[in-house]
Amino acid sequence: MSYLVNALSFLIELAFGAAAALFVLRLLAEASRADFHNPLSQFVYRTTNPVLAPIRRVLPNWRRVNLAALLLVWLLMLIKRIVLFALLGMFPHILGLALLSVADTLDFIAMFYVVLIFVWSLMSLFQVEHYHPVYRLAGALVDPLLRPLRGRLVAGGLDFAPWAVMIVLILARLLVVSPLTDLGARLALGV
């Protein structure tokens, strides 16, 4: 029975992760002012706009942060947690569930950036055409994080700024997200 629960948990994580990735892409593309004429940017916009447009009437952007997309990512993480707990036959306390969803959202965004920076770095090593839509979008999304360190961590012609940013993001996951997850789990289970 636990094998079936593990398989279903994996599929649930995959489905909610794919949906959250679209909204995180939208959130980061707007925050970094990615090129709207990029075909990938247009795909993300067209895919997420029917859901975000009604919410944005009530919850407008704050500076360059799309609060509606952020809210939807949090709601997706909340629903995912509810489904995973229901799969185990449990219903947690709402405060713990809300905190777990915040931790999941922060963790998802941090890991999204780690993977994005890694992929962008690999693409730049293999000299992918700079006009490629994936390269342009990834470059626009990682640039705000890399800009403060760009050119400062160069050794032997290699820029180690992406490594430094990935290390900081992983440390943030370990030192901020993990304690939030533990606290949320204790509150959710009433321990």
- Whether 26 contacts 129, CB under 8 Å: no
Domain that holds residue 165: 2-189
Average pLDDT for the chain: 93
Query: What is the 8-class DSSP label of residue 159?
Result: E
Write the DSSP string, 29-74: HHHTT--TTSHHHHHHHHHHHHHHHHHHHHS--BTTB-HHHHHHHH
Looking at residue 3, its pLDDT comes to: 92
Over the stretch 44-55, which tens digit does the pLDDT of each residue have? Answer: 999 999 999 999
Where is average pLDDT lowest: 23-32, 89-98, 152-161?
A: 152-161
Tally the domains of the chain: 1
Higher local confidence (pLDDT), 120 or 127: 120
Over the stretch 145-184, which tens digit does the pLDDT of each residue have? Answer: 999 998 888 888 888 999 999 999 999 999 999 999 999 9
CA–CA dist 16, 35 (Å, integer):
26
Looking at residue 126, its pLDDT comes to: 81
- Whether 31 contacts 144, CB under 8 Å: yes
- Whether 33 contacts 64, CB under 8 Å: yes
pLDDT-derived band of residue 119, with 50, 70 and 90 as boundaries? very high
- pLDDT at 19 exceeding the cut of 80: yes
